[in-house]
């Protein structure tokens, strides 16, 4: 039986150097990511955007060292929300198969300038 609408989220501070966000279900209390899953959506919700940040470069990877990327780097304009200093970005992966390591997946992200707080979220089906 296929499971739908599984998701994980985690938060981290972002700057102009890559931050690695660990999505393993621990922080959110969510179910572990399956070792093999069909990736649907990855998104970054940003708050406290400061210092002229207008773009996010990010990708999904299998390891915390960023040595095993699962997607290409995505450079995305920050879509500014109606709340001052808030915005975000998202990418759909149309069911691309990802293979995690022990139920953990990572999102590496950095800004073109300034700082922000980010919540990374991914959704998948198995």
In a domain, 3, yes or no: no
CATH of the domain at 59: 2.60.120
In tens, the pLDDT along 30-66 reads 555 666 677 778 889 999 999 999 999 999 888 899 9
Question: What residue numbers bound the domain in which 115 lies?
Answer: 8-125
Residue 1 has pLDDT above 50, yes or no: no
CB-neighbour burial class of residue 109 (10 A; exposed 0-12, middle 13-18, buried 19+) = buried
What pLDDT sits at residue 38?
75
In a domain, 1, yes or no: no
Number of domains in the chain: 1
What pLDDT sits at residue 123?
80
What pLDDT sits at residue 103?
72
What pLDDT sits at residue 32?
59
In a domain, 64, yes or no: yes
């Amino acid at each position: 039986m296929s499971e739908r609408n599984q998701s994980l989220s985690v938060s981290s501070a972002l700057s102009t150097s890559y931050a690695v966000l660990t999505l393993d279900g621990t922080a959110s209390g969510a179910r572990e990511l399956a070792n093999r899953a069909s990736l649907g959506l990855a998104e970054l919700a940003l708050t406290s955007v400061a210092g002229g940040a207008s773009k996010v470069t990010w990708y999904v990877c299998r390891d915390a060292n960023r040595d095993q990327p699962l997607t290409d780097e995505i450079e995305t304009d920050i879509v500014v929300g109606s709340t001052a200093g808030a915005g975000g970005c998202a990418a759909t992966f149309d069911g691309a198969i990802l293979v995690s390591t022990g139920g953990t997946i990572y999102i590496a992200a950095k800004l073109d300038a300034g700082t922000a707080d980010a919540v990374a979220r991914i959704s998948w089906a198995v």
